[in-house]
C-alpha cells in the first residue's frame, strides 16, 4: 500500500523547506524530497550562505590590510584560504542541520533521493511510489553556461567552484557583471587576485537603477576591479596551464584576448526540471524552461515555486512563495507582494533595491518624484570613513506613494527593509520623512532621501 500525503514537495531549498515547515505547522501531512545529502538547496549549500561567509571574512581582511592605517592603526594580516573555506563549510553544515531539526520539530518527512512525478498525485523516489493530494515543485535552478565553455570547477569554475578555491588565483576573469560575479569577484580581489569582469552589456548589474549601476561600477573600479563592458566572450580554452579567453565588442568588431589563472562563469542560472516527469501531469514550461504558473498553480493539484518559476531568482522570493502555497493548500489565502521584494548585492558597500527603477517608471508612464541623499553628507558615514554611496527614493508625483528605493551603502541590505515595510503598507514618502530615526545612523540617509522627495532634506 503506497504512503499517502497531503503534500509532497520536490526540492529542499528555501522554497521547498519553508513550504514544508509551514505545511507541518498547519497540520498537513507533508514530505519533502531532496536529492542532495543535505537540506537547504542552492542557497544554503552553494549559494547565499557560503558566499556571504566568504564575503564577511574577506571584508574583515581587506579592512585590516588596507584601511586600518588610515584610522591610525596597524595590523599585519595574512590569509589562510583553506581555513577560510573550512570555516565557511562549518557555517553551511550548522545551518543545513538546522533545517533537518526543523523538519523533525514540524513533523515533515524528509525523503532523500531524486523525486519524479509519475502521474496525478504520484511521486516516485528510488523505485518507491508515494501518493499525495498535492505536489509542490521546488526544484530550483542550475548554473547557466555558454556552449563553448567546459566548466571543470578548477580553472574554469561556476559559482560552486569559486566557493571552493584553495588558493588565490593571480588573475581571475569573471564572465558576467551580475550579482554573483561581482560578489565572488570581490571575494578573490580582496584576497589579492587581479579581477577583470567581462560584461556583454554596457553597464554592470542588469535590471537595477541606472544611477546605481554607474555609481557602483565607479566604486568597484576604485577598489581595483577592472571592467570590460560591452564585450562578448567568444572562446574559452582551458587546455593549457592558464585559461585563454577570446572576445569581441558586443556591437561587433574589435577583438581582444585575455589570459587568466581562473575563469568564473557567472552569466546566470536556469530553471532545473530534468527528468521531473512534467509531461505525466501536463505541466507547461516557457521557452526559457520556467514552469508556467497562475498563483503558483501549475496544474491540477500541482504547484511550482522559487527559481523554477519566473521572477527574481532569490531565496526570499522562493521562501515567500513556499509559505503562500502551504497556506493556500490549507485553505487560507496565501499572499506574496511581488512589488516589495528586495534585492541585495553583498559587496562593499552593499547595493540594495526594492520596487521600481526610474527607467521602469518612465516606460510605464508613471509620474514620479526623486529624492536622493549622498552618504558624503551623512554624519555616521563620515565617522566611519565610508562615504561612497547614496539613498534614493522614488515616489508617485501625485499621491506621494513610495514606488521604489535604491541604496548604495555599507549595510544597505539591512537598510532597505524600512522602504520595503513602507511599500507593504502603501506609505507615502512623507510618512518615512516624518519617522524619527536615531542619530547618527546610516539609515538617516534613507529618511533624508524621503525628505528630499518632499523638498526639505536638511542634514549634513
Q: Known catalytic residues?
A: 439
Q: Give one DSSP letter per residue of 323-373, joined into a string.
A: HHHHHHHTTS-----GGG--EEE-SSSEEEEEE--HHHHHHHT--EEEEEE
- Could you tell me the three cell numbers for 101? 531539526
Contact segment (CB under 6 A) with ligand FAD among 31-39, 87-95, 167-175, 221-229 equals: 31-39
Our finding on whether 56 is near ligand FAD (CB under 6 A) is no
What residues numbered 167-186 form the site for ligand FAD, per CB under 6 A? Answer: 180
Structural contact between residues 264 and 175, judged by C-beta atoms closer than 8 angstroms: yes
C-beta closer to ligand FAD: residue 154 or 439: 154
Closest CA to 16 of 338, 344, 303: 303
Neighbours of 26 (CB within 10 A): 17
8 vs 274: CA distance, rounded Å: 18
Interface residue with ligand FAD, options 23, 30, 48, 236 (CB under 6 A): 48
Query: Can you tell me the distance from the alpha carbon of 426 to that of 351, in angstroms, rounded to the nearest whole number?
Result: 23
Q: Which run of H or of E encompasses 94?
A: helix 81-105
Binding mask 149-168 for ligand FAD (x = CB under 6 A): ----------x---------
- C-alpha 71/C-alpha 79 separation (Å) is 22
Query: Could you give the CA distance from residue 249 to residue 189 in angstroms, rounded to a whole number?
Result: 25
Q: Segment contacting ligand FAD (CB under 6 A): 33-41, 72-80, 324-332, 393-401?
A: 33-41
Residues touching ligand FAD: how many (CB under 6 A)? Answer: 35
Which DSSP state fits 105? H
φ, ψ at 245 (rounded to 5°)? -125, 130
Pick from 20, 43, 151, 157 the residue near ligand FAD by CB under 6 A.
43
Single out the residue of 51, 58, 215, 293 in contact with ligand FAD (rule: CB under 6 A). Answer: 51
- Contact between 174 and 264 (Cβ < 8 Å): yes
Asked if 42 touches ligand FAD (CB under 6 A), the answer is: yes
Residue 232 near residue 213, CB atoms below 8 Å: no
Out of 7, 16, 132, 368, the only residue in the binding site for ligand FAD (CB under 6 A) is 16
User: Exactly one of 30, 151, 313, 395 binds ligand FAD (CB under 6 A); which one?
Assistant: 313
**Residue with smaller CB distance to ligand FAD, 212 or 276:** 276
Q: In the range 264-303, which residues lie near ligand FAD by CB under 6 A?
A: 272, 276
**Among residues 138 and 195, whose Cβ is nearest to ligand FAD?**
138
What residues make contact with ligand FAD under the rule CB under 6 A?
10-16, 33-36, 41-43, 47-48, 51, 114-115, 138-141, 159, 180, 272, 276, 306-307, 313-316, 318, 346
Amino acid at each position: 500500500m503506497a504512503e499517502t500525503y497531503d503534500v509532497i514537495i520536490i526540492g529542499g531549498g528555501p522554497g521547498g523547506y519553508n513550504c514544508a515547515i509551514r505545511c507541518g505547522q498547519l497540520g498537513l501531512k507533508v514530505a519533502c524530497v531532496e536529492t542532495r545529502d543535505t537540506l537547504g538547496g542552492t542557497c544554503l549549500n552553494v549559494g547565499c550562505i557560503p558566499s556571504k561567509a566568504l564575503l564577511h571574512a574577506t571584508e574583515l581582511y581587506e579592512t585590516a590590510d588596507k584601511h586600518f592605517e588610515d584610522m591610525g592603526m596597524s595590523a599585519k594580516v595574512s590569509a589562510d584560504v583553506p581555513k577560510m573555506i573550512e570555516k565557511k563549510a562549518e557555517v553551511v553544515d550548522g545551518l543545513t542541520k538546522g533545517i533537518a531539526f526543523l523538519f523533525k520539530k514540524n513533523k515533515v518527512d524528509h525523503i532523500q533521493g531524486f523525486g519524479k512525478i509519475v502521474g496525478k498525485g504520484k511521486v516516485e523516489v528510488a523505485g518507491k511510489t508515494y501518493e499525495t493530494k498535492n505536489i509542490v515543485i521546488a526544484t530550483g535552478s542550475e548554473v547557466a553556461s555558454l556552449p563553448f565553455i567546459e566548466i571543470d570547477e578548477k580553472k574554469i569554475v561556476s559559482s560552486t567552484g569559486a566557493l571552493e578555491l584553495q588558493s588565490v588565483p593571480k588573475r581571475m576573469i569573471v564572465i558576467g557583471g551580475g550579482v554573483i560575479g561581482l560578489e565572488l569577484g570581490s571575494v578573490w580581489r580582496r584576497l589579492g587576485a587581479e579581477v577583470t569582469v567581462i560584461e556583454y552589456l554596457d553597464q554592470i548589474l542588469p535590471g537595477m537603477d541606472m544611477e546605481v549601476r554607474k555609481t557602483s561600477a565607479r566604486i568597484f573600479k576604485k577598489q581595483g576591479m577592472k571592467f570590460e563592458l560591452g564585450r562578448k566572450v567568444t572562446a574559452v580554452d582551458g587546455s593549457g596551464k592558464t585559461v585563454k579567453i577570446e572576445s569581441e565588442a558586443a556591437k561587433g568588431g574589435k577583438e581582444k584576448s585575455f589570459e587568466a589563472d581562473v575563469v568564473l562563469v557567472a552569466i546566470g542560472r536556469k530553471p532545473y526540471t530534468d527528468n521531473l516527469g512534467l509531461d505525466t501531469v501536463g505541466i507547461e514550461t516557457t521557452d526559457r524552461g520556467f514552469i508556467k504558473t497562475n498563483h503558483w498553480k501549475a496544474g491540477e493539484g500541482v504547484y511550482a515555486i522559487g527559481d523554477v518559476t519566473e521572477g527574481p531568482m532569490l531565496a526570499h522570493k522562493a521562501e515567500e512563495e513556499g509559505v503562500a502555497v502551504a497556506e493556500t493548500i490549507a485553505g487560507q489565502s496565501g499572499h506574496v507582494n511581488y512589488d516589495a521584494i528586495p534585492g541585495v548585492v553583498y559587496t562593499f558597500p552593499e547595493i540594495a533595491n526594492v520596487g521600481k527603477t526610474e527607467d521602469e517608471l518612465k516606460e510605464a508612464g508613471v509620474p514620479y518624484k526623486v529624492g536622493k541623499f549622498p552618504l558624503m553628507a551623512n554624519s555616521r558615514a563620515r565617522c566611519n570613513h565610508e562615504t561612497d554611496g547614496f539613498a534614493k527614493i522614488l515616489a508617485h508625483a501625485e499621491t506621494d506613494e513610495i514606488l521604489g528605493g535604491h541604496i548604495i551603502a555599507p549595510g544597505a541590505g539591512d537598510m532597505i527593509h524600512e522602504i520595503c515595510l513602507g511599500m507593504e503598507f502603501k506609505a507615502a514618502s512623507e510618512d518615512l520623512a516624518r519617522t524619527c530615526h536615531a542619530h547618527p545612523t546610516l539609515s538617516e540617509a534613507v529618511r533624508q532621501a524621503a525628505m528630499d522627495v518632499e523638498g526639505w532634506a536638511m542634514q549634513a
